[in-house]
Amino acid sequence: MGQTPITFLRQVTTLCLYPELLHDAAFPEDAKKRAQRLLDACAGHSAGAYSASPGIPVIRQDVARYIERRDGGIPSNPDHIFLSTGASDAIVTVLKLLVWGEGQERTGVLIPPLTPPPPRPQVYQDNVYAPGSQFHSFKKVLTEMGPPFAEGVELASFHSISKGFMGE
């Protein structure tokens, strides 16, 4: 797809998982700085430490800033962001929250037809390749629709770094 290797992200991950390498001259300073910032935000300065259920606050704040930039300045609240082990796990969790009741009282959820892998909306936002095409976030569209939609519709959207950096 013509994408460059994701070396920086791999370097930061490596440094977070093996902090002794922070002193290794083979790693660039920007990767070391990012890894140290993340480690400082972790309990015990370890990527393996327990974290708050929604995720490490500094990462959730970074995600909120990213969403705000992506959506042209529409505010994004880090307290409304939950990090997970992947989009599929997050979708299952949200569906478990929404679906309740039994028989005719059971809540229904309309989703696109299941195809392998399961559909992941918001997930492929960085994989828009057609000339003249662009990604439109549901959050931005909903906000631009204004009342009553912007205040009355609850929206859960998903993004995955694995799909955000790999064209399929």
Query: Residue ranges per domain, the chain?
Result: 1-50, 53-83, 85-168
Contact yes or no for 94/68 (Cβ under 8 A): no
CA atoms within 13 A on the CB side of 66: 11
Whole-number pLDDT of residue 31: 97
Selection from 76-80, 84-88, 158-162 with the highest mean pLDDT: 76-80
| 69, pLDDT greater than 80 | yes
**CATH architecture type of domain 1-50:** Orthogonal Bundle (1.10)
Residue with tokens 């976030």: 137
Overall average pLDDT of the 25-32 stretch: 97
Instruction: Please name which of 25, 47, 24, 26 lies closest in space to residue 35, comparing C-alpha atoms.
Output: 47
**Which tens digit of pLDDT belongs to each residue from 93-147?**
888 888 888 888 888 776 666 555 554 557 667 677 788 988 888 899 999 999 9
Whole-number pLDDT of residue 1: 61
Overall average pLDDT of the 73-99 stretch: 90
The beta strands (E) that lie in 13-102 are given as none
- Name the band, by pLDDT with cuts 50, 70 and 90, for residue 70: very high
Q: Give the Cα separation of 25 and 27 in Å (integer).
A: 5
* Helix-helix angle 29-41:57-70, to 10 degrees: 120
Whole-number pLDDT of residue 52: 87
Compare 167 and 90 and report the one with higher pLDDT. 90
